[in-house]
Chains A and B, each alone.
Chain A
Amino acid sequence: MRAIVDRWVTPAMVILAAASVVFAATWTMTSRFGSTDEFGGRNAPRSAQGPVGRSGTGVQSGAIGAPIGSGPARQAPVTAGGVAAQSIDPASGSGGQPGQAPVARNGLAPIGAAGTPAQGIPPVSGNAGAAPRQRDGSRQGVRVSGGEADEHAEGSTGERTGRGRERH
């Protein structure tokens, strides 16, 4: 009995223990560094998705949302309206971009200028400005100056970027 234990059981336990060490190390490393959450993915913690914009200040979104291989985010040319720029192209590498709330001619933020929640869901890029809401709540008749595509996003995978869109 003792011979069997010495010959087979103990070595097997040692081997399994060594395998468990490798297993635990891999699990830890993957959980810590390999989660898509780290890059602001769909399951990203709220903190990784960017803060919710405050009224009149626009949105700072996706700052942490850049996936692997992407370069630094480029500022979104958000126009009046204070709606956060949203990226639409999954081929790019940066998340949503900060937007700035417009200031009305009277110096006050227009109605509806409250920032929208951060759009930090990568892989997205390209920034589309949204038409500002008018005081009557509509968006018509306003050309969005900030809706142009960021054709040359920086970063190693920045060749393909999102194309902006205009909302009417």
Chain B
Amino acid sequence: MTARTIPANRTRNAGRLALDLGMFAALLLLLEPHATGLPVHEWLGIAISVPILTHLLLNWKWVVTVTKKMFAPMPLATRVNQGLNTFLFVATVVAIQSGVMISEIATPGIADALGTARAWRALHDVSSHAMVFGAAAHAVLHWRWIARTVGRVFGIDTTPARASSPAVATVTVGGR
């Protein structure tokens, strides 16, 4: 990436960073329903699907690139990142789905009507914890991109963060 492209990407990266940080903050809020109240927990849990979808669309190029090379040799870090992202996607879908099923306010009574409330509740517990774990690992793997983007957006020197690392190599696949 040349110095000439940095200003052009700054706005885009700032938007991505804001989106990701907002999602992460929402995820932290979702961790504790008692703190936010059940209505906020449920509606926020449903609404978070929109930024998640946006996040995937913004990084779609990486998804396509890695998926096409699924059976080709690829760096271990990229492979790990791919597996983790798949895991995170499944956990997220299941967490949102099970949350909708056991919802008491937003979409009440679905699981009760089916007689499967207990199973959905257990599934929600497992998948939501898996989602948090996956999101944390996702952030760790992209920590250098986060630090670098924060530095660029706010004009902080990010020279140390430019050293090659698994995270950088992973990000490079998608050109992110």
Residues of A whose CB lies within 8 Å of any CB of B are: 7-8, 11-12, 15-16, 18-19, 22-23, 26-27, 30-31, 33-37, 41, 43
- A11 touching B60, Cβ below 8 Å: yes
- A36 touching B94, Cβ below 8 Å: no
What are 7 residue pairs bridging A and B, where the CB atoms are less than 8 Å apart in the complex? A11-B60, A26-B98, A30-B116, A30-B120, A30-B123, A34-B120, A43-B115
- B116 touching A26, Cβ below 8 Å: no
- B123 touching A19, Cβ below 8 Å: no
- A26 touching B94, Cβ below 8 Å: yes
**Residues of A contacting B: mostly:** helix
- B119 touching A35, Cβ below 8 Å: yes
7 pairs of A and B residues whose beta carbons are closest in the complex = A34-B119, A43-B115, A22-B93, A11-B60, A19-B93, A35-B116, A30-B119
Interface string of B64-97 (1 = CB under 8 A from A): 0000000000000000000000000110011001
> Is the C-beta of B176 less than 8 angstroms from some C-beta in chain A?
no
- Known A22-B89, A26-B98, A36-B116; further 6 A-B contacts with Cβ < 8 A: A8-B57, A15-B56, A22-B93, A34-B116, A34-B119, A37-B115
- A12 touching B116, Cβ below 8 Å: no
CA distance A34 to B120 in the complex (A): 8
* A23 in contact with B123 given A30-B116, A31-B116, A35-B116 (CB within 8 Å): no
- A31 touching B114, Cβ below 8 Å: yes
Interface size bracket, B side: 20 to 34
- B118 touching A34, Cβ below 8 Å: yes
Closest to A44 in B: B115
Closest to B94 in A: A26
The one of B53, B63, B97, B114 that contacts A35, using a Cβ cutoff of 8 Å:
B114
* A41 in contact with B115 given A15-B57, A30-B123 (CB within 8 Å): yes
* A36 in contact with B57 given A18-B89, A26-B94 (CB within 8 Å): no
* A26 in contact with B97 given A8-B57, A18-B89, A34-B123 (CB within 8 Å): yes
- A26 touching B123, Cβ below 8 Å: yes
- A12 touching B98, Cβ below 8 Å: no
CA distance A85 to B114 in the complex (A): 30
* A15 in contact with B120 given A22-B90, A23-B93, A43-B115 (CB within 8 Å): no
CA distance A26 to B56 in the complex (A): 21
